[in-house]
Structure 1
Amino acid sequence: MTTHDNLRDGGTGHPDRLSVLGIEAVGHHGVFDFERRDGQVFKVDLTLGMDTRPAALSDDLQDTVDYGSLVSAVKQAIENDPVDLIETLAQRIADVCLSDRRVGWTTVTVHKPDAPIQATFSDVALTIHRSRQ
Protein backbone atom coordinates (compact mmCIF):
# COMPACT_ATOMS: atom_id res chain seq x y z
CA MET A 1 0.00 0.00 0.00
CA THR A 2 1.34 3.42 -0.89
CA THR A 3 1.43 6.37 1.48
CA HIS A 4 -1.36 7.94 -0.60
CA ASP A 5 -3.56 4.85 -0.12
CA ASN A 6 -2.80 4.88 3.59
CA LEU A 7 -4.02 8.46 3.87
CA ARG A 8 -7.15 7.76 1.82
CA ASP A 9 -8.26 4.86 4.04
CA GLY A 10 -7.40 6.50 7.34
CA GLY A 11 -4.46 4.14 7.89
CA THR A 12 -6.73 1.13 8.39
CA GLY A 13 -5.71 -0.94 5.37
CA HIS A 14 -9.35 -0.94 4.17
CA PRO A 15 -9.69 1.66 1.38
CA ASP A 16 -13.01 0.39 0.01
CA ARG A 17 -16.24 1.78 1.44
CA LEU A 18 -19.71 0.30 1.47
CA SER A 19 -22.46 2.70 2.54
CA VAL A 20 -26.08 2.09 3.45
CA LEU A 21 -27.96 5.34 3.97
CA GLY A 22 -31.33 6.20 5.45
CA ILE A 23 -32.12 3.05 7.43
CA GLU A 24 -35.32 3.84 9.34
CA ALA A 25 -36.79 2.17 12.39
CA VAL A 26 -38.90 3.14 15.37
CA GLY A 27 -37.07 3.08 18.67
CA HIS A 28 -38.02 3.97 22.22
CA HIS A 29 -34.78 5.73 23.12
CA GLY A 30 -34.50 8.95 25.07
CA VAL A 31 -34.34 10.38 28.54
CA PHE A 32 -37.99 11.42 28.72
CA ASP A 33 -40.82 9.07 29.70
CA PHE A 34 -42.88 9.98 26.62
CA GLU A 35 -39.97 9.04 24.33
CA ARG A 36 -39.76 5.63 25.95
CA ARG A 37 -43.54 5.18 25.88
CA ASP A 38 -44.39 6.52 22.40
CA GLY A 39 -41.18 5.89 20.45
CA GLN A 40 -40.01 7.81 17.41
CA VAL A 41 -38.30 7.29 14.09
CA PHE A 42 -34.52 7.02 14.07
CA LYS A 43 -32.56 7.10 10.83
CA VAL A 44 -29.10 5.60 10.45
CA ASP A 45 -26.37 6.01 7.86
CA LEU A 46 -23.54 3.46 7.76
CA THR A 47 -20.20 3.36 6.02
CA LEU A 48 -18.04 0.25 6.29
CA GLY A 49 -14.34 0.12 5.50
CA MET A 50 -13.50 -3.22 3.95
CA ASP A 51 -11.57 -4.91 1.18
CA THR A 52 -14.04 -5.75 -1.57
CA ARG A 53 -11.51 -7.41 -3.87
CA PRO A 54 -12.28 -11.00 -2.75
CA ALA A 55 -15.97 -10.52 -3.60
CA ALA A 56 -15.16 -8.79 -6.87
CA LEU A 57 -13.01 -11.75 -7.91
CA SER A 58 -15.42 -14.49 -6.84
CA ASP A 59 -18.74 -12.71 -7.48
CA ASP A 60 -19.96 -14.60 -4.40
CA LEU A 61 -22.01 -13.06 -1.58
CA GLN A 62 -20.12 -15.23 0.93
CA ASP A 63 -17.00 -13.12 0.23
CA THR A 64 -18.49 -9.81 1.29
CA VAL A 65 -20.79 -8.21 3.84
CA ASP A 66 -24.42 -9.11 3.17
CA TYR A 67 -25.88 -5.64 3.56
CA GLY A 68 -29.43 -7.01 3.65
CA SER A 69 -28.60 -8.99 6.78
CA LEU A 70 -26.66 -6.04 8.18
CA VAL A 71 -29.66 -3.71 7.76
CA SER A 72 -31.89 -6.24 9.54
CA ALA A 73 -29.44 -6.40 12.46
CA VAL A 74 -29.23 -2.59 12.64
CA LYS A 75 -33.03 -2.32 12.64
CA GLN A 76 -33.15 -4.78 15.55
CA ALA A 77 -30.52 -2.71 17.38
CA ILE A 78 -32.74 0.36 17.00
CA GLU A 79 -36.04 -1.36 17.82
CA ASN A 80 -34.93 -3.29 20.92
CA ASP A 81 -33.57 -2.49 24.38
CA PRO A 82 -34.21 1.25 24.84
CA VAL A 83 -31.34 3.46 25.98
CA ASP A 84 -31.22 7.06 27.11
CA LEU A 85 -28.63 8.46 24.70
CA ILE A 86 -28.05 8.36 20.95
CA GLU A 87 -24.37 7.97 21.82
CA THR A 88 -25.17 4.57 23.32
CA LEU A 89 -27.32 3.62 20.34
CA ALA A 90 -24.60 4.66 17.88
CA GLN A 91 -22.02 2.53 19.70
CA ARG A 92 -24.41 -0.45 19.68
CA ILE A 93 -24.82 -0.09 15.92
CA ALA A 94 -21.06 0.26 15.40
CA ASP A 95 -20.58 -2.98 17.35
CA VAL A 96 -23.07 -4.70 15.02
CA CYS A 97 -21.10 -3.50 12.00
CA LEU A 98 -17.75 -4.55 13.44
CA SER A 99 -19.04 -8.01 14.32
CA ASP A 100 -18.20 -9.04 10.74
CA ARG A 101 -14.45 -9.77 10.67
CA ARG A 102 -14.15 -8.26 7.18
CA VAL A 103 -15.11 -4.79 8.42
CA GLY A 104 -12.03 -2.87 9.52
CA TRP A 105 -13.84 0.30 10.52
CA THR A 106 -17.27 1.87 10.44
CA THR A 107 -18.77 5.33 10.51
CA VAL A 108 -22.28 5.46 11.97
CA THR A 109 -24.58 8.47 11.94
CA VAL A 110 -27.74 8.29 14.05
CA HIS A 111 -30.40 10.86 13.15
CA LYS A 112 -33.10 11.79 15.63
CA PRO A 113 -35.24 14.18 13.57
CA ASP A 114 -38.06 14.36 16.13
CA ALA A 115 -35.88 15.05 19.16
CA PRO A 116 -37.78 16.92 21.88
CA ILE A 117 -36.29 20.37 21.35
CA GLN A 118 -38.32 23.53 21.83
CA ALA A 119 -37.09 25.19 18.65
CA THR A 120 -37.39 24.81 14.91
CA PHE A 121 -34.72 22.44 13.59
CA SER A 122 -34.42 19.83 10.88
CA ASP A 123 -32.37 17.10 12.54
CA VAL A 124 -30.18 16.04 15.43
CA ALA A 125 -27.41 13.74 14.25
CA LEU A 126 -24.46 12.08 15.95
CA THR A 127 -21.63 10.58 13.87
CA ILE A 128 -19.07 8.20 15.34
CA HIS A 129 -16.13 6.39 13.77
CA ARG A 130 -14.97 3.09 15.23
CA SER A 131 -12.16 0.77 14.15
CA ARG A 132 -11.39 -2.83 14.85
CA GLN A 133 -8.75 -2.98 17.61
Structure 2
Amino acid sequence: MSATGQIFIEALDLYAYHGHFAEEGRLGQRFSMDLVLDCDLRASSVSDDLADTVDYGEVVALVTRTFSAKRFKLLEAAARALADAILAQYPPVTRVSVTLRKPSPPIPGRMESVGIKLDFQREA
Protein backbone atom coordinates (compact mmCIF):
# COMPACT_ATOMS: atom_id res chain seq x y z
CA MET A 1 0.00 0.00 0.00
CA SER A 2 1.25 3.51 -0.82
CA ALA A 3 0.93 6.42 1.58
CA THR A 4 2.91 9.13 -0.09
CA GLY A 5 1.32 12.48 0.41
CA GLN A 6 1.62 16.06 1.51
CA ILE A 7 2.11 17.98 4.71
CA PHE A 8 0.54 21.42 4.57
CA ILE A 9 0.75 24.57 6.64
CA GLU A 10 -1.93 27.11 5.79
CA ALA A 11 -2.25 30.83 6.50
CA LEU A 12 0.92 31.19 8.56
CA ASP A 13 1.04 34.91 9.41
CA LEU A 14 4.40 36.56 10.01
CA TYR A 15 5.47 40.18 10.38
CA ALA A 16 8.59 41.19 8.47
CA TYR A 17 10.32 44.05 6.70
CA HIS A 18 10.30 42.81 3.11
CA GLY A 19 9.41 44.75 -0.01
CA HIS A 20 10.68 46.87 -2.84
CA PHE A 21 9.70 50.23 -1.35
CA ALA A 22 11.72 51.95 1.40
CA GLU A 23 8.60 52.31 3.58
CA GLU A 24 8.14 48.55 3.59
CA GLY A 25 11.66 48.08 4.92
CA ARG A 26 11.19 50.80 7.52
CA LEU A 27 7.65 50.04 8.73
CA GLY A 28 7.29 46.34 7.99
CA GLN A 29 4.04 44.54 7.27
CA ARG A 30 2.11 41.31 7.69
CA PHE A 31 2.64 38.41 5.32
CA SER A 32 0.57 35.26 4.99
CA MET A 33 1.91 32.01 3.58
CA ASP A 34 0.84 28.51 2.68
CA LEU A 35 3.35 25.68 2.40
CA VAL A 36 2.82 22.24 0.89
CA LEU A 37 5.56 19.63 1.37
CA ASP A 38 5.50 16.46 -0.72
CA CYS A 39 6.99 13.50 1.16
CA ASP A 40 6.63 9.80 1.78
CA LEU A 41 4.30 9.28 4.74
CA ARG A 42 4.24 5.46 4.70
CA ALA A 43 6.46 4.89 7.75
CA SER A 44 4.65 7.38 9.99
CA SER A 45 1.22 6.10 8.93
CA VAL A 46 2.21 2.67 10.26
CA SER A 47 4.38 3.58 13.25
CA ASP A 48 2.34 6.54 14.54
CA ASP A 49 5.73 7.99 15.56
CA LEU A 50 6.74 11.63 15.02
CA ALA A 51 10.32 10.50 14.39
CA ASP A 52 9.13 8.86 11.15
CA THR A 53 7.75 12.02 9.57
CA VAL A 54 8.51 15.69 9.03
CA ASP A 55 7.57 17.62 12.18
CA TYR A 56 5.49 20.55 10.95
CA GLY A 57 6.15 22.43 14.20
CA GLU A 58 9.86 22.34 13.37
CA VAL A 59 9.08 23.42 9.80
CA VAL A 60 7.17 26.46 11.11
CA ALA A 61 10.13 27.38 13.34
CA LEU A 62 12.59 27.02 10.42
CA VAL A 63 10.37 29.08 8.10
CA THR A 64 9.95 31.80 10.74
CA ARG A 65 13.73 32.05 11.25
CA THR A 66 14.46 32.01 7.53
CA PHE A 67 11.77 34.57 6.67
CA SER A 68 13.08 37.08 9.19
CA ALA A 69 16.83 36.44 8.80
CA LYS A 70 17.25 38.98 6.01
CA ARG A 71 15.26 41.54 4.06
CA PHE A 72 13.91 40.44 0.69
CA LYS A 73 12.80 42.95 -1.93
CA LEU A 74 10.67 40.41 -3.79
CA LEU A 75 8.30 37.71 -2.63
CA GLU A 76 9.88 35.41 -5.21
CA ALA A 77 13.26 35.60 -3.48
CA ALA A 78 11.70 35.03 -0.07
CA ALA A 79 9.82 31.97 -1.38
CA ARG A 80 13.05 30.51 -2.81
CA ALA A 81 14.86 31.02 0.50
CA LEU A 82 12.05 29.20 2.35
CA ALA A 83 12.03 26.29 -0.09
CA ASP A 84 15.84 26.02 -0.05
CA ALA A 85 15.85 25.91 3.76
CA ILE A 86 13.13 23.23 3.91
CA LEU A 87 14.75 21.05 1.25
CA ALA A 88 18.17 21.37 2.94
CA GLN A 89 16.84 20.51 6.41
CA TYR A 90 14.41 17.73 5.49
CA PRO A 91 15.71 15.11 3.01
CA PRO A 92 12.35 13.24 2.90
CA VAL A 93 10.71 16.31 1.32
CA THR A 94 10.86 16.01 -2.47
CA ARG A 95 8.87 19.08 -3.45
CA VAL A 96 7.79 22.34 -1.80
CA SER A 97 5.04 24.71 -2.88
CA VAL A 98 5.19 28.20 -1.35
CA THR A 99 2.37 30.74 -1.58
CA LEU A 100 3.21 34.17 -0.17
CA ARG A 101 0.69 36.99 0.22
CA LYS A 102 0.86 40.64 1.23
CA PRO A 103 -2.54 41.27 2.82
CA SER A 104 -2.09 45.07 2.76
CA PRO A 105 0.10 45.89 -0.23
CA PRO A 106 1.27 49.51 -0.55
CA ILE A 107 -0.45 50.04 -3.90
CA PRO A 108 -3.63 51.90 -4.80
CA GLY A 109 -6.83 49.93 -5.15
CA ARG A 110 -9.04 47.69 -3.05
CA MET A 111 -7.91 44.09 -2.81
CA GLU A 112 -7.65 41.38 -0.23
CA SER A 113 -4.00 40.64 -1.01
CA VAL A 114 -1.35 40.28 -3.68
CA GLY A 115 1.14 37.45 -3.85
CA ILE A 116 2.93 34.67 -5.63
CA LYS A 117 2.96 30.89 -5.72
CA LEU A 118 6.13 29.00 -6.63
CA ASP A 119 6.90 25.29 -6.73
CA PHE A 120 10.36 23.90 -6.03
CA GLN A 121 11.55 20.33 -6.53
CA ARG A 122 14.59 18.63 -5.07
CA GLU A 123 17.37 18.30 -7.67
CA ALA A 124 18.10 14.70 -8.57
User: How does the TM-score come out when normalised to structure 1?
Assistant: 0.86
Question: Which deviations, in whole Å up to 9, do the C-alpha atoms of 1:17-74 show, x marking residues without a partner?
Answer: 1111011111100111110011001111000111100111221111110100100111
- Counterpart of 1:121 (choices 99, 111, 114) is 111
Partner of 2:68: 79
Shift >3 Å, 4+ stretches: none
User: How does the TM-score come out when normalised to structure 2?
Assistant: 0.91
How many positions carry a matched residue from both structures? 121
Higher strand share: 2
Question: Which deviations, in whole Å up to 9, do the C-alpha atoms of 1:95-120 show, x marking residues without a partner?
Answer: 12212000000111001111111111
Q: Are the equivalent residues in 1 in contact too, given 2:33–2:99 (CA < 8 A)?
A: yes
Q: Are the equivalent residues in 2 in contact too, given 1:23–1:75 (CA < 8 A)?
A: no
Identity, in percent, stands at 33
Partners in 2 of 1:23 and 1:87 — Cα distance? Answer: 17
Q: What amino acid does structure 2 have at the position aligned with 1:128? A: L
* Structure 1 residue runs without a partner (length 5+): 6-13
The reply on whether 1:60 has 2:40 as its aligned counterpart is no
* Structure 2 residue runs without a partner (length 5+): none
Partner of 2:85: 96
Q: What amino acid does structure 1 have at the position aligned with 2:98? A: V
